[in-house]
Amino acid sequence: MPFSITHFLRDRFILTADMAEPDEIRTDVEAGVSFRGTNLWVLIFAIVIASVGLNVNSTAAITGAMLISPLMGPIVGIGFGAATMEVPLMRRGLKNLLLAMVISLAVSTIYFYLTPLSEAGSELLARTTPNTWDVLIALFGGAAGAVGLTRRGRGNVIPGVAIATALMPPLCTAGYGLATGQWNYCSGAMYLFFINCVFICLSTFLVVRLLPLPRRTFVDDATARRVRVSIWTLAVLTAAPSVYLAVGIVRDTAFNHNAQQFIEQELIRLPGTYVLTRRIKPEERSLNLLLAGKYLDRPAMAALTRKLPEYGLRRAKLTIRQGMAQLDSATAQALRTNVLEDMRNRDQQAYTEYEARFAQLQQQMANQQLAPSLPNALQVLREAQINFPQVRQLGLSQLIRPATDSLHADTTVVVAVRYKQMLKPAEQQRFSKWLQARLGPRPVLLAE
Binning pLDDT at 50, 70 and 90, where does residue 107 land?
very high
Whether 356 shows a pLDDT value over 90: the answer reads: no
Segment 267-272 shows an average pLDDT of: 77
Segment 46-67 shows an average pLDDT of: 86
Q: Lowest mean pLDDT: which of 30-44, 80-94, 407-421?
A: 407-421
pLDDT of residue 106: 93
The predicted-structure confidence for 327-349, as pLDDT tens digits, reads as follows 555 555 665 666 666 666 666 77
Segment 299-326 shows an average pLDDT of: 82
The predicted-structure confidence for 364-387, as pLDDT tens digits, reads as follows 655 555 455 678 888 888 888 888
Segment 300-323 shows an average pLDDT of: 85
pLDDT of residue 30: 84
Q: Lowest mean pLDDT: which of 120-129, 243-252, 391-400?
A: 243-252
The winner for highest mean pLDDT among 120-124, 236-240, 382-386, 397-401 is: 382-386
Integer Cα distance of 109 and 192 in angstroms = 17
Domains and CATH numbers, the chain: 13-216 (1.20.1080), 377-447 (3.30.300)
Integer Cα distance of 284 and 281 in angstroms = 5
Whether 126 shows a pLDDT value over 70: the answer reads: yes
Whether 403 shows a pLDDT value over 60: the answer reads: no
Whether 81 shows a pLDDT value over 50: the answer reads: yes
Segment 166-175 shows an average pLDDT of: 86
Percentage of the residues of the chain whose pLDDT score is greater than 90: 3
Q: Lowest mean pLDDT: which of 7-11, 185-189, 312-316?
A: 7-11
Integer Cα distance of 41 and 47 in angstroms = 10
Q: Lowest mean pLDDT: which of 64-73, 120-129, 182-191?
A: 120-129
Let me know: does 412 contact 445? Beta carbons within 8 Å: yes
Whether 393 shows a pLDDT value over 70: the answer reads: yes
Of 418, 353, 363, the closest CA to residue 385 belongs to 418
Binning pLDDT at 50, 70 and 90, where does residue 1 land?
very low
Binning pLDDT at 50, 70 and 90, where does residue 109 land?
very high
Segment 34-52 shows an average pLDDT of: 87
pLDDT of residue 67: 83
Segment 102-118 shows an average pLDDT of: 89
More confident residue, 324 or 309: 309
